[in-house]
């Protein structure tokens, strides 16, 4: 039997290790920035930019997804460098970096060296979703910033991935099939370039015909926007409801049930036996905002650095040894 002193020593050791590891929690920065409120500062920057450009909603959603799905939510996507994640082909169209820079500058002026860039991404995305009428979820904070950003680490699910392979990719990140369906619902806002779905319009899987799962009227509409062998790369709304293409809601699910999905994976969600029932339920439900927010919270917790791991960058574009 363990002696009382030994038990106490073990308990203290476990507590110490727990504190060193740290954990995400709502309100992590409360009281850590003097009289300033960290989340209010970030929200002010995002709100100011949103009223100038509401397309920051899909931009920030995409940024957070692309960051969390590589090394985890460690802001590695923000680091500059000739071989950084930014330079990988799937990330070359990621945007919104200037919003994170502006929020970081405001926070460094208020309380230097306190707030991580990884947390700024999570808070800014939450605020953008709220401004896009997607409801407000509680962001857990306490992330630390990563030190490594390599283009060779970028292995994101492609727009033509199958549902089964997508489920496996999300599962590797600790996310369920239901989480996947909700997170891909982020496509209720934003656009896709023609090059990402042109094969569905003209030569689907080498057949010489369009994808039979796409609504023929949509095929004709998109062909006029995306002519074959065009020298330019136009875009199409991912949510084909023109009244909802910039609103974070469940309209996307209703569109893919009508075979009006733009990306192949989006359309497959409504057809595959694994996800069809979820899509049908979400399309007619009234709790999309709540469940989408919960899925975003889970995404934001993927492979995070906490406690003494990583660092709090002075600049979101460089690790501290280079930012000094």
Whether 257 contacts 283, CB under 8 Å: yes
Are the CB atoms for 302 and 68 separated by under 8 Å?
A: yes
Report pLDDT for 5: 46
- Residues in binding site for heme b: 187
Task: Output the pTM of the full model.
Answer: 0.91
State the pLDDT at residue 11: 43
Binding-site residue set: 67, 70, 72, 74, 76, 85, 157, 187-188, 239, 249
Tokens of 213: 């799962």
Q: What is the pLDDT of residue 229?
A: 86
Q: Specify whether 193 is catalytic.
A: no
Residues of the chain with pLDDT under 70: 1-22, 323-324
> Which tokens sit at 10?
């073990």
Query: Residue 321: what pLDDT?
Result: 87
User: Which of 66, 86, 254, 260 is flagged as catalytic?
Assistant: 66
Return the residue matching tokens 């039979």. 212
At 10 the pLDDT is 44
What pLDDT score was predicted for residue 167? 98
**Beta partners for 192?**
236
Q: What is the pLDDT of residue 33?
A: 96
Q: Which residue in this structure is represented by tokens 């919960």?
A: 294
Residue 230 confidence (pLDDT): 87
Alpha-carbon separation of residue 310 from 82, 122, 148 (angstroms): 21, 17, 10
In Å, how far from its chain's centre is CA 197? Answer: 21
- Residues flagged as binding site for Ca(2+): 67, 70, 72, 74, 76, 85, 188, 239, 249
How many residues are there in the chain? Answer: 324
Question: What separation, in Å, do the N-terminal and C-terminal C-alpha atoms of the chain show?
Answer: 53
């Amino acid at each position: 039997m363990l002696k009382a002193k030994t038990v106490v020593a073990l308990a203290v050791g476990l507590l110490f290790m727990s504190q060193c590891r740290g954990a995400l929690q709502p309100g992590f920065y409360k009281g850590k920035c003097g009289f300033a409120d960290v989340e209010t500062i970030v929200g002010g920057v995002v709100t100011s930019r949103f009223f100038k450009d509401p397309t920051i909603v899909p931009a920030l959603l995409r940024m957070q997804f692309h960051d969390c799905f590589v090394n985890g939510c460690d802001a590695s996507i923000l680091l500059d460098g000739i071989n950084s994640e930014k330079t990988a082909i799937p990330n070359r169209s990621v945007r919104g970096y200037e919003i994170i820079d502006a929020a970081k500058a405001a926070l460094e002026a208020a309380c230097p060296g306190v707030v991580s860039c990884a947390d700024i991404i999570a808070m800014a995305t939450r605020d953008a979703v709220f401004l896009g009428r997607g409801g407000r979820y509680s962001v857990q904070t306490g992330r630390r910033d990563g030190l490594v950003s390599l283009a060779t680490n970028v292995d994101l699910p492609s727009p033509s991935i199958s549902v089964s392979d997508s489920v496996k990719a999300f599962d590797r990140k600790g996310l369920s099939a239901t989480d996947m369906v909700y997170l891909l619902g982020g496509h209720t806002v934003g656009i896709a370039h023609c090059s990402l779905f042109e094969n569905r319009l003209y030569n689907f899987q080498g057949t010489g015909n369009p994808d039979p799962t796409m609504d023929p009227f949509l095929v004709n509409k998109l062909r006029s926007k995306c002519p074959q062998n065009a020298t330019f790369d136009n875009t199409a709304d991912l949510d084909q409801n023109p009244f909802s293409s910039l609103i974070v809601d469940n309209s996307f699910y209703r569109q893919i049930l009508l075979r009006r999905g733009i990306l192949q994976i989006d359309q497959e969600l409504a057809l595959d036996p694994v996800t069809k029932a979820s899509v049908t339920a979400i399309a007619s439900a009234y709790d999309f905002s709540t469940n989408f927010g919960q899925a975003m919270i889970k995404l934001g917790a993927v492979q995070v650095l906490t406690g003494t791991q990583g660092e709090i960058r002075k600049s979101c574009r460089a690790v501290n040894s280079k930012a000094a």
